[in-house]
Structure 1
Amino acid sequence: MFVQHTPPHTPPFRGNLADFSGRRGWEEGIKDGYAEGYLRGRAKVIVGAPKQGFAFRQVKILYVGTGKSFPYSPIDEAIIATLQTLAAEVIVSVIGQPIGELAATHRPDLVLVLDGVELPTDQIDTIRGIGIRTAIWFTDDPYYTDFTSNIAPHYDYVFTMERNCVDYYRSLGCSNVYYLPFAAYTEHYHPTLTLSPVRRNISFIGSAYWNRVNFFQPIIGGLMENGLVINGIWWDRLPEHVNYTNQIELGKWMGPLETSEAYSGSKIVINLHRSPIDESVNNNTIGITASSPNPRTFEIAACGTLQLVDVREDLASFYTPGVEIETYSTSDELMEKVNFYLTHEKERQEIALRALEKTYRDHTYSNRIHQMFEHIFG
């Protein structure tokens, strides 16, 4: 049941004008403290609610991780931990080990590969040749389709985080292709349930791809005045970064727990997708466009904070704009919504809490692995 939340009553001010600013600060502190407590309390109820159960399968999985560091290692960790809750046996390996020999020895029901760009496809051909099912979950679609197009046909099942890649892989002769975006691993990404040690108005955490630099530049002054803090690599590309050395942390790749704490301690988190047509970093010669949300979409939502995300066509399949998430199309629209939600506490919190509830219910790795198993095992 929704309960209207009203800050506690404070008595009218009767002091002299010299004391007014102190009294006003005290009242604002009471108001902010109440709002913070309300948000954390509601988030605690949502996080502690009973979780949906998923089928436990008597199957043996050989999982082949990327063997890479950030940002891939937290995904490996999330998938391994989730597999161990849904499958009877999980054997963990990484690219660089003799995957074919491991499969021949253990005879798993499925060899599941994450990314797979550096895994020789002849090893997968050998595994399929002895009758073991194989699947790959691509991590970076559509940005590296020049590579993945040569890999996908070697697997029995192909899972992609980009909806627009499904038909492309099918056109290459892959018969079992499924759209399966990543999710939030709630052991990493979750709201802070006590008073947060991080207090920010606005956060952006991510690399300075050129489309992000160009998008932020016209409004960077206004964002900084409103308290934006940026963490990530390459932000020296932004000419104005020298004016905001206390608000732009250069060259830091934050781990998931530190990122989660920053998300949860922010009133607003900005999510701006990278461009699928950036020739300086992508390998997407055929120019497949991107319509699906990035993993950060689910991770921010899992931290109980308001997310402002640039519009992507398939975003509404996961969160309802204006209800569970808020979107923007232009720099000016982003600035307008930042100004609105920084001054409308109740509206901001309710959207954030609805996104949190939706994520914990529908967008965890348990949801995704369960969907994958349904496709493979029936």
Structure 2
Amino acid sequence: MNILLYDFLNSYIQSDLVYYLEKMGHHCTNVLYREGVDKYDDDRFATRMERDLRSFSYDLVITTNFWPVVSKVCKKHDIKYVSWFFDSPPNLPTAECMDYSCNKIYFFARADYEKYKALGLDNVYYLPLAVNVDRLRQIKVDEKKYCCEISFVGKLYESMLPALMAHMDDYQKGFIDSVVKIQMELYGGYIVDDVITEEFAESVRKRYKSLSDKAIQISKQELAWAVASHVTHLERMTLLSILGKRHQVRLYTFELSEDEKRLLGNVEFCGPVDYLKEMPQVFAASKVNLCPVLKANRSGIPLRALDVMGCGGFLLSSYQSELAEYFLDGDECVMYESIEDAISKANFYLSHEELRRQIAAAGRARIEDAFRYEDRIRVLLDF
């Protein structure tokens, strides 16, 4: 099959997807489009894609995440379009173009699939992410450089919520504070999208408007995201701060604010790591790999969790329903259901090396059996 792929976001899964497509005998043209693209209407990109389609006879277009602008061109040319989300929640304000008959749209999080299926879409599907076991088997680990007790690789998700709350009235501030407190303590459930209603968002917009005619007009979706990212930020900062006072903890992320540096004074800041070459070494060499899942991801197994286990690393993750569905908690990975639980389990498994190694090995075996790209691609290409 001749396949045209577009990579707009430097997607972590793109190179692995292309590798296995080609390994399975498909001809791939992988376009790294770095000029910026409007998801819905972008004449410059559409012209480029039209030219690409005229240059060769393609059977299929694939992207990671769904791009309406791609779907529009595929519809025009009557060519199949497969998209596979690696982000949750999807960063799309509407379901525009999703109902086109050319589309097959796959969500890695079942909750996202169910949300869009409930809209009446019959071309949406559920498909968990995969791991490039071929690549990970070839990684040589620099134990001296990357060995540590606890590591976390990922964003801290500094949120705009504090700035938004600064201009809310007292009732609105109190309401948001309550939502944050409840969601912080709730594992296995996500209330933010339900309690941040359109009516509440409208009350916030009216409040802003009363203060200034030029005030931002935040949407319900944007406000809910601000709350979710703030809760995620608080959880990650709290975990790292407490564990950093008791253990050797390394944080691999982008720049920290001065406040974050101060609050994480006992945590070793190591900067970002390359996904393909360095990150697997971190996962393999760390005794415990933290994975506090983004709160807005209501059910799906994040790529980080799969990669940790695929590298033979020990995974300590916040509870996630699909992780509990596919992996045995305490046998193939370990999940926590509160900050206190996470700290207790980190302490326990750091002092039980053989058990920790057994769990890591079992997790890797499960990955190599049930999360292979070959199996996922057969589903993606099943027309």
| TM-score scaled by length of structure 1 | 0.70
Partner in structure 1 of residue 369 of structure 2: 361
Shift of residue 223, structure 1, vs aligned partner: 1.1
Q: Which amino acid aligns with 2:150?
A: I
1:1-378 alignment runs, 5 A limit: 60-69=1-10, 72=11, 74-95=12-33, 96=45, 98-117=48-67, 119-128=69-78, 132-146=79-93, 149-154=95-100, 155-190=102-137, 196-197=143-144, 198-209=146-157, 210-224=230-244, 225-233=246-254, 235-236=256-257, 238=260, 240-241=262-263, 243-244=265-266, 247-250=268-271, 252=272, 254-276=274-296, 290-373=298-381, 376-377=382-383
Is this contact kept in 2: 1:64–1:93, CA < 8 A? Answer: yes
Q: Which amino acid aligns with 1:176?
A: N
RMSD: 2.6
Structure 2 vs 1, CA of residues 118 and 156 (structure 1 numbering), >3 Å: closer, same or farther? closer
Q: In the aligned structure 2, how far is the partner of 1:239 from the partner of 1:205?
A: 16
1:226-253 deviation digits (Å, cap 9, x = unpaired)? 11111113543536446236x1235x35
Structure 2 vs 1, CA of residues 124 and 172 (structure 1 numbering), >3 Å: closer, same or farther? farther
Structure 2 vs 1, CA of residues 94 and 317 (structure 1 numbering), >3 Å: closer, same or farther? same
Percent of matched pairs sharing the same residue = 18
Partner in structure 1 of residue 166 of structure 2: none
Shift of residue 66, structure 1, vs aligned partner: 1.7
Q: In the aligned structure 2, how far is the partner of 1:98 from the partner of 1:312?
A: 40
Q: In the aligned structure 2, how far is the partner of 1:242 from the partner of 1:295?
A: 25
- Structure 1: unaligned runs, 5 residues or longer: 1-59, 277-288
Is this contact kept in 2: 1:231–1:248, CA < 8 A? Answer: yes
Q: Helix, strand or coil: the match of 1:316?
A: helix
Q: Helix, strand or coil: the match of 2:77?
A: helix
1:113-140 deviation digits (Å, cap 9, x = unpaired)? 2224374543122122xxx322122231
Q: Which amino acid aligns with 2:23?
A: T
Q: Helix, strand or coil: the match of 1:146?
A: coil
Shift of residue 349, structure 1, vs aligned partner: 0.4
Is this contact kept in 1: 2:142–2:281, CA < 8 A? Answer: no
Q: Which amino acid aligns with 1:127?
A: H
Q: Which amino acid aligns with 2:27?
A: E
Structure 2 vs 1, CA of residues 84 and 219 (structure 1 numbering), >3 Å: closer, same or farther? closer
Q: In the aligned structure 1, how far is the partner of 2:112 from the partner of 2:118?
A: 10
Structure 2 vs 1, CA of residues 156 and 219 (structure 1 numbering), >3 Å: closer, same or farther? closer
Q: In the aligned structure 2, how far is the partner of 1:297 from the partner of 1:191?
A: 19
1:266-291 deviation digits (Å, cap 9, x = unpaired)? 11100111121xxxxxxxxxxxx611
- Structure 2: unaligned runs, 5 residues or longer: 34-44, 158-229
Q: Which amino acid aligns with 2:270?
A: E
Q: Helix, strand or coil: the match of 2:67?
A: coil
Structure 2 vs 1, CA of residues 119 and 78 (structure 1 numbering), >3 Å: closer, same or farther? farther
Partner in structure 2 of residue 55 of structure 1: none
Structure 2 vs 1, CA of residues 217 and 208 (structure 1 numbering), >3 Å: closer, same or farther? closer
Structure 2 vs 1, CA of residues 115 and 361 (structure 1 numbering), >3 Å: closer, same or farther? same
Q: In the aligned structure 2, how far is the partner of 1:101 from the partner of 1:192?
A: 38
Q: In the aligned structure 2, how far is the partner of 1:66 from the partner of 1:195?
A: 30
Is this contact kept in 2: 1:203–1:266, CA < 8 A? Answer: yes
Shift of residue 215, structure 1, vs aligned partner: 1.6
Q: In the aligned structure 1, how far is the partner of 2:273 from the partner of 2:98?
A: 30
Structure 2 vs 1, CA of residues 133 and 258 (structure 1 numbering), >3 Å: closer, same or farther? same
1:57-84 deviation digits (Å, cap 9, x = unpaired)? xxx1323222333xx1x32111111110
